[in-house]
Amino acid sequence: MARKELAKAYEPWDVEEKWESHWEASRTFSPDPDGPGESYSIVIPPPNVTGVLHMGHALNLTLQDILCRFNRQQGRNVLWVPGTDHAGIATQNVVERQLKGEGLTRDDLGREKFIERVWEWKKEKGDHILSQIRRMGASVDWTRECFTFDDQRAKAVRQVFVKLFEQGLIYKGDYIINWCNRCHTALADDEVEHEAKPGKLHHIKYPLADGTGHLIVATTRPETMLADTAIAVNPDDDRFNKYIGKTAILPLVGRELPIIGDSYVDIEFGTGCLKVTPAHDMNDWELGRKHNLEVISILDEQGFVNENAPEKYRGLSVTDARKMVLDELESEGLLKEIVDHDHSVGVCYRCKSTIEPHVSTQWFVSMKPLAEKARAAVPAETQIFPEHWTKTYYQWLDEIRDWCISRQIWWGHRIPAWTCEECGELIVSIDDPTVCTKCGSSKLVQDEDVLDTWFSSALWPFSTLGWPDDTRELARYYPTSCLVTGFDILFFWVARMMMMGLQFMEQVPFKHVYIHALVRDEQGKKMSKSTGNVIDPLDMIGKYGADALRFTLTSFAAMGRDIKLSEQRIEGYKHFMNKIWNATRFAMMNLPDEIPAVELSEADGLANRWILHRLEEVKAAVAEATVEYRFNEIAQTLYKFIWSEFCDWYLEMIKPALYGEDEKAKAATQKVLWTVLSETMVLLHPVTPFITQEIWNVLPRPAGDDRSEDIATLPAPEKRPSCLDPKAVDEMDLFMGVVSGTRNIRTELLIEPAKKLDLLIRTVNDDDKAVLTANLGLIQSLARIENITVGPDAKGPKASGAAVVRGNELSVPLEGVVDFEAELARLDKNLAKLEKTMKGVAGKLKNPGFVNNAPAEVVEGEKTKLAEMEEEKTKLTQLKARLESVMG
């Protein structure tokens, strides 16, 4: 069979497409639930079907994939479940925008036809993000792909809703929602866009009921004062806490308002006194619930003042009501002042009209009973990494409010509740009822609302495994092993999955939760389209390959620390991929078609002993870092080992053995070279699956090696304690110190690389002398030395470059090598030129006219330029001093 070859250059795109298709077609990552091995499972945080891959997804997928591929190497039975979220609001918005382009609305189609239209969109474009996940190399089991709105998940959702209702944990009640008066619809929070708008802060006098004075309240919406039911102050505010428990009179209405104390009130904002209007402000609603305040709504669904306000205001628009209220306050001397105030205003994503908070009847989950279990489970059954997020998790659960789960849209799991038109009976059922359970009437009307998307995704860890059916997957892979997610959904999703898992499976849904950090731009700013600093992962894959992107993200994924990402860093790790490729090509040119049957213990020589020892250390370090979620250490360990140790040192040191006449030494070195390269590819595979697969597929094998050509199925490299050789590390440390020290002398004194030098090493003991003497040829080759003298009496002439390595003195004679006078003259000339330029730049930066008027980036550029020149001056000054010292 013809020997396989690597292409001259690494072109990741063809390689990635080939292996991605191979893994999926061969079902490499589809485990057998009845197969051997300890279970390890992860469920993918389901991206929205409307979404596109962003850098947060890329990081999340990379970290999950590392864990899954690593645990397969440990012999575990690994399942990684993929899937998407139906994203009720976002998806409905997309389709409604399409309809708008056709001059239609969802009401024109009707509910049934509209749902059909959304399904058509989902089949055509809704799985686009899955193809993008494939490009990342995610080793998910595509045969078990799930969707939060497919039949099995719908079955689970209905079961959970009905069970919670029967347990008294789901109920119907009033709640405040976002309401668009123009579109006449409720909007979820993520449908509301926030715009900074200029406004006014109105300072209004509220007389105290006992006649002792008044409190001044600041508000941006004076018309809603007609619905005020309290005044709130901060208990820590010494100006007003004495009024807590008293009452004030609501101007223009005459209603008595209790004065309450709550730490929510910002002492620094406005006057420090807050009007509380539960029906017309989201935060006031929560204050109202907390303090059991009356809820009065004075606006109808069209945005006009209703019957709950004094008669003279009824029927007015918000704008007209505001004008009338301000005029009356002023005429009564109750309007102290009006000041300019910019603030964030919620607007409808469709028509840009201002959103009005509106109280309506909604469905809720009673959260406190569920939250108690979820809190007790951490860290007893589930650990959160980094640990500091545990405190945040506790805080949210301790302050938890009931969860409003109903949404006034059509795309989603419709609430399985029916009302009898004859007797008003409410029926909640898993199966669609045909007759009323109370009166027998067939006139049943299903609730129009659908469930919050988070409701179905809260069931994800067990619904994806087939629940409520008793499946093999559920029995084998629940609870899952680890959840990798962002901190922003710790409450929306993670805590709710904990609650639902404990309630319905009586087990936590995952044993570990790893909270990854944010990916920011290189200045540490959050990426956003508006600021133009977004780095698109698909663009980066297109330019540099998936492995380069994955390795970059991994190398900066330190626990609890945000990633500062730049395209230059990704490009840099593309060079690392090239380094691996070229090192492999070198190895392939020096390896036979069949690897020699040589025992590693027969491999002599410092290079072989040292690299085998280091390989064992790397195996242990990578495994430990992976288990402890120190992802950056995985990448950094492998990078240092491959680039600095394997490529820069080992490959150079073994050339004499590979090119020499000693066949025994050559065969032993070939065996070590193959062992280190092949096992390093297995270690690196979880981080960079594509390049390692391509390399593994072409590497020659020893006779009888029948391991799979698919590196993704290989076990982790076996440990070889017999290869641990601390003495080799110590000897190598001395060897590298001598070679590097000699190279540094050449570099510092600007001696040409081609210039042959002599080296004298004055040793401090016989052991060091023996090590250096045994490796004289390698020192000569790597440091480009012509003659070497080693021993306790070796000493160079006065005009020598010098260095000290572990007490051993290195001397490089410079007579005839360096023209000292010419070098000093050149340095003086360069320093004078540099100082003149620095003086000009420094003068510019001291000029207020330049600093204050030039663009900020220009000023910053000049500062950077000056700093670089100062650094260059330091280097030249140090070099001059070194030369003068050598001249002595």
Within this chain, do residues 471 and 586 fall inside the same structural domain, yes or no? no
Within this chain, do residues 194 and 339 fall inside the same structural domain, yes or no? yes
Q: Decide if pLDDT at 190 tops 70.
A: no
Within this chain, do residues 138 and 283 fall inside the same structural domain, yes or no? no
Contact 204, 234 (CB under 8 A): no
Ramachandran bin of 463, using left for φ above 0, alpha for ψ from -120 to 50, beta for the remaining angles: alpha
Q: Is residue 187 part of a domain?
A: yes
Within this chain, do residues 700 and 806 fall inside the same structural domain, yes or no? no
pLDDT at 361: 87
Q: Return the exposure string of 752-770: e unless at least 16 CB atoms fall within 10 Å of the residue's CB, then b.
A: eeeeebbbbbbbeeeebbe
* In the chain, % of residues over pLDDT 70: 98
Within this chain, do residues 471 and 495 fall inside the same structural domain, yes or no? yes
**More confident: 521 or 572:** 572
Q: What share of the chain is helix, strand, coil (3-state, %, to 5)?
A: 45, 20, 35
Of 325, 358, 391, the residue at which a domain comes to its end is 358
Q: Is residue 166 part of a domain?
A: no
Q: Decide if pLDDT at 829 tops 80.
A: yes
In 10 A of CB 97, how many CB atoms? 11
* Residue-wise pLDDT tens digits, 124-135: 888 899 999 999
Of 784, 813, 842, the residue at which a domain comes to its end is 813
pLDDT at 703: 86
Mean pLDDT calculated for residue range 240-249: 96
Confirm whether residue 18 is marked as ligand binding: no
Q: Decide if pLDDT at 676 tops 80.
A: yes
* Residue-wise pLDDT tens digits, 724-740: 999 999 999 999 999 99
The per-residue DSSP string of 133-165 comes to HHHTT----GGG-EETTSHHHHHHHHHHHHHHH
Q: What is the CATH number of the domain that holds 59?
A: 3.40.50.620
Within this chain, do residues 271 and 322 fall inside the same structural domain, yes or no? yes
Within this chain, do residues 78 and 214 fall inside the same structural domain, yes or no? no
Q: Is residue 606 part of a domain?
A: yes
Mean pLDDT calculated for residue range 517-529: 87
Within this chain, do residues 428 and 574 fall inside the same structural domain, yes or no? no
In 10 A of CB 873, how many CB atoms? 15
Within this chain, do residues 835 and 806 fall inside the same structural domain, yes or no? no
Of 792, 813, 834, the residue at which a domain comes to its end is 813
Within this chain, do residues 487 and 564 fall inside the same structural domain, yes or no? no
Q: How confident is the model at residue 1 (pLDDT cuts 50, 70, 90)?
A: very low
Q: Return the exposure string of 326-338: e unless at least 16 CB atoms fall within 10 Å of the residue's CB, then b.
A: beebeeeebbbee
Which residue(s) pair with 510 in the sheet? Answer: 480
Q: Is residue 526 part of a domain?
A: no
pLDDT at 2: 58
Angle at which helices 55-73 and 606-627 cross, to 10°: 110
Mean pLDDT calculated for residue range 189-211: 87
* Residue-wise pLDDT tens digits, 407-444: 888 999 999 999 999 999 999 999 999 999 999 999 99
User: CA 798: distance to chain centroid?
Assistant: 58
- Give the Cα separation of 678 and 692 in Å (integer): 9
**More confident: 670 or 354:** 670
Q: Decide if pLDDT at 822 tops 90.
A: no
Which element (helix H / strand E) includes 359?
A: strand 356-365
Question: Average pLDDT, whole number, for the chain?
Answer: 93
- Total-model pTM: 0.85
Q: Decide if pLDDT at 596 tops 80.
A: yes
Ranges assigned E (strand) in 24-145? 39-43, 77-81, 83-84
Both tokens assigned to 407: 């949404």
| Domains identified in the chain, total number | 6
Q: Is residue 319 part of a domain?
A: yes
**More confident: 741 or 706:** 741
Q: Is residue 861 part of a domain?
A: yes
Best-predicted range by mean pLDDT (120-124, 273-277, 705-709, 743-747): 273-277
Q: Decide if pLDDT at 350 tops 70.
A: no
Both tokens assigned to 599: 């025992």
Q: What is the CATH number of the domain that holds 622?
A: 1.10.730.10
Mean pLDDT calculated for residue range 815-843: 84
Q: Decide if pLDDT at 66 tops 60.
A: yes
Within this chain, do residues 276 and 315 fall inside the same structural domain, yes or no? yes
Mean pLDDT calculated for residue range 844-869: 88
Q: Decide if pLDDT at 756 tops 90.
A: no
Q: Is residue 316 part of a domain?
A: yes
Domain ranges, residue 268: 180-358
Contact 592, 658 (CB under 8 A): no
Within this chain, do residues 155 and 223 fall inside the same structural domain, yes or no? no
Q: Is residue 304 part of a domain?
A: yes
